[in-house]
Amino acid sequence: MDASFIIFAFTYLVIAIGQPPIFRIDRTGAAIIGASLMVVFEVISVYDAYEAIDYRTILILFGMMVLIANMRLSGFFQIVQSFILSRVKSPLFLLYLIIFICGILSAFFINDTVCLIFAPFLLELTRRLNLNSKPYLLALCMSANIGSVATITGNPQNIIIGAASGISYGSFFIKLFPVAFVGLIILAFILTLCYKKELSKKIEEISEIRYRFNYPLLIKSSLAAIITLFLFFTGIAMEVVSIGIASFLLITRRIKPEKVYNLIDFRLLILFIGLFIVIKGFEKSIIFENFVEHFSELVKTPISLAVSSAVLSNIVSNVPAVLVFKPVIGNFTDTESAWLTLAMSTTLAGNLTIVGSIANIIVLEIASQRVKITLKEYMKFGIPVTVLTIAAGLLILSFY
């Protein structure tokens, strides 16, 4: 067994389980170690390691993180929270607000960020309203996953697919937005059905929660977000737009740079860089060649691609799954359709288990001190939501 496969297996095992026994190695650390070992054991050269990094993906992700950091500092997401709070009429209406507002926000501002912002808010809101937090927490993480399928900037794996496929932002949105919209309706139906008793309670009156806004930054960051989306839809290279907008936002007299940097997930960027190098090293192995050849025989239809990528996404997470499946896409006659199917299945597969998506882990970790949702309890909703949304996605994409 060659060194490249052993390093690859070690890296992805740690990524899958989160942290190995005895050692304190997180997912980012595993990617750094794996990438380093690929060079140390001369699986690939230092030059090959540099070449393996998809800088377009890194620039897009970094630019979006700077934009989102400024929007968070401006109070934009607090305004959204105030909007939700002011329109709470019943537990059921609150559930629908969470599903569709968080789903829409996740399409444009990366699902993990939306979960990070809204999870504490929901815990506090449901406590004050004396409501069961579980349906709302499930609604948050699952709607964030579903909504993020609509755009290239909805989640990290879509950013990788957008950079690798060359599919325009507008074309991606037109074909996958219906999948996201139908998926949110399916989620709303399942949660309403399963939590019918809790959602029929009367809601208690609560006083308005006060927030502080930075109005100049709010105007600047909101304008930057609108311009970013407009330029994405015009077809200008996404990495150019992202880094340009990030540079514009970093030119300021009001906000200390460290406040912005503290909200940027540099660990995620390093994780991506490490994974690119690990995958490049794995591609040098005979096992990888056999893997691609084997999958080329099995994965020839949208259904087989959707099922296999969904399963792999829940073993090693969706970002690594996309990197593994990239070489297989070339075997499809209609590569654009294959890329869209891969984006759809790996994103919606995130709802199957707790570890299927980082968004799920973020929500449940934040809530863990007050609310416990077991794997069995989560999968009671995750299985039907995942199966029905992927089936709906395949049906919708078959019309294009």
pLDDT attached to residue 328: 81
Confidence of residue 321 (pLDDT cuts 50, 70, 90): confident
Residue 237 has phi, psi (to 5 degrees) of -50, 125
HSE (CB half, 13 Å, CA atoms) of 127?
9
pLDDT at 382: 93
pLDDT band at 287 (very low <50, low <70, confident <90, very high): confident
Range in 61-65, 237-241, 370-374 the model is least confident about: 370-374
Residue-range domain boundaries for the chain: 3-397
Query: Cα separation of 20 and 251, whole Å?
Result: 42
Average pLDDT over residues 41-70: 89
Per-residue pLDDT, averaged over 252-275, amounts to 87
pLDDT in tens, 84-93: 777 777 889 8
Mean pLDDT across the chain:
87
pLDDT of residue 307: 92
The Cβ-side half-sphere exposure at 191, using a 13 Å CA radius, reads: 29
Residue of 30, 36, 37, 32 lying closest to 11 (CA atoms): 30
Count of positions (residues) in the chain: 400
Task: Collect all residues with Cβ–Cβ distance below 8 Å to 247 and sequence separation of at least 6.
Answer: none
pLDDT band, residue 119 (cuts 50/70/90): confident
DSSP 3-state assignment of 201? Answer: coil
Residue 94 CB contacts under 8 Å (≥ 6 apart), including other chains = 84, 88, 125, 129, 131, 136, 203
d(C-alpha 352, C-alpha 383), whole Å: 5
- Name the DSSP letter for residue 197: T
Q: Higher confidence at residue 290 or residue 281?
A: 281
Q: How confident is the model at residue 224 (pLDDT cuts 50, 70, 90)?
A: very high
Tokens representing 80?
């959204």
- Cβ-based neighbours of 365, under 8 Å, separated by 6 or more: none
- Could you tell me which residues come within 8 angstroms of residue 230 by beta carbon, excluding any fewer than 6 positions away? none
For the beta carbon of residue 196, count every other beta carbon within 10 angstroms.
Answer: 10
